[in-house]
């Protein structure tokens, strides 16, 4: 599939594909965003668990925070809208580090970056493309995987996105959360998040949050919350039913042929050869 075939719902900005729901005017104006010292940014490549971490943060008792819609969703009025939130803002985004507004870096706002195994991410994004009217319709997994490997998908190359953030992984204001570790031990990772945000939460509260934000609970709750436009966490849809599909670890094995796995692994090895974070995925590949 060529870019021309996708251009009704996607557009290119600085060489990267964005949804037309993110206007060029807004993307061009992001550097005029006025960050606050206590802002928290929830960042990931699409389909890596942003909704999950957002639910966790929203369930922290007495946190006095407001989850806003994504910074890159909408038109230029988004920057004015974000000023209207009086409580501490938690702002989701799928932007790479390079595209993040300058003010956020200058003020060293807290950033939680979520990473998921790229093979599972690719499968999840494939289903998103198929189900989401705001994304191009793609018939086959084979066709989608070729686009994913080339970085011709919304928000660009998974590899480039991860590497742009990895360069800053040791910064005090950045916390990296792995989707697979969150699955394995939610309470431990929720504790990491609350400590990072400077919030004092008891172990029993943390266990309660872990239960309330389990995949089955979140999926059950989407029906009643689906119509709340203020609860838009993904810059690609406000329909929460599209967001929760399986949430599985290792589901990629049901999609990749042995040849596709070999091609993927070769590219992964080449692109991520200097990456420390890459070692994390060896258990899941």
Catalytic residues: 94
Q: Residue 149 has which token pair?
A: 């490997």
Q: Residue 147 has which token pair?
A: 């686009």
Using a 10 angstrom Cβ sphere, with 0-12 exposed, 13-18 middle and 19 or more buried, the burial of residue 112 is buried
Rounded Cα distance between 123 and 251, Å, is 8
Rounded Cα distance between 82 and 84, Å, is 5
Rounded Cα distance between 198 and 102, Å, is 24
Q: What are the respective helix, strand and coil percentages of the chain, to the nearest 5?
A: 50, 15, 40
How many residues comprise the chain? 285
Question: What DSSP string describes 98-152?
Answer: GGS-HHHHHTT-EEEEEE--HHHHHHHHHHHHHH-TTS-----HHHHHHHHHHT-
């Amino acid at each position: 599939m060529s870019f021309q075939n996708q251009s009704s719902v996607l557009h290119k900005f600085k060489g990267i594909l964005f949804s037309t729901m993110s206007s060029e005017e807004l993307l061009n104006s992001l550097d005029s965003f006025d960050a606050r010292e206590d802002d928290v940014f929830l960042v990931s490549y699409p389909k890596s668990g942003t909704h999950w971490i957002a639910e966790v943060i929203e369930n922290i008792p007495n946190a006095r925070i407001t989850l806003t819609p994504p910074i890159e969703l909408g038109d230029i009025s988004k920057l004015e809208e974000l000023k209207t939130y009086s409580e501490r803002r938690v702002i989701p985004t799928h932007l790479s580090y390079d595209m993040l507004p300058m003010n956020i870096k200058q003020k060293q706002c807290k950033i939680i970056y979520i990473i998921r195994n790229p093979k599972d991410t690719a499968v999840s994004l494939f289903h998103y493309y198929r189900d989401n009217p705001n994304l191009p319709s793609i018939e086959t997994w084979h066709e989608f995987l070729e686009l994913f490997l080339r970085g011709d998908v919304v928000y660009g190359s998974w590899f480039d996105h991860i590497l742009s953030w990895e360069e800053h992984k040791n910064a005090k204001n950045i916390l990296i959360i792995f989707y697979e570790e969150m699955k394995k031990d939610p309470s431990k990772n929720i504790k990491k998040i609350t400590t990072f945000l400077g919030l004092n939460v008891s172990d029993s509260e943390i266990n309660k949050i872990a239960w309330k934000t389990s995949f089955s609970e979140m999926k059950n709750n989407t029906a009643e919350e689906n119509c709340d436009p203020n609860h838009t966490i993904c810059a690609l849809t406000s329909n929460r039913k599209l967001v929760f599909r399986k949430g599985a670890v290792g589901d990629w094995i049901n999609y990749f042929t042995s040849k596709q796995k070999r091609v993927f692994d070769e590219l992964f090895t080449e692109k991520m050869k200097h990456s420390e974070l890459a070692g994390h995925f060896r258990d899941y590949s």
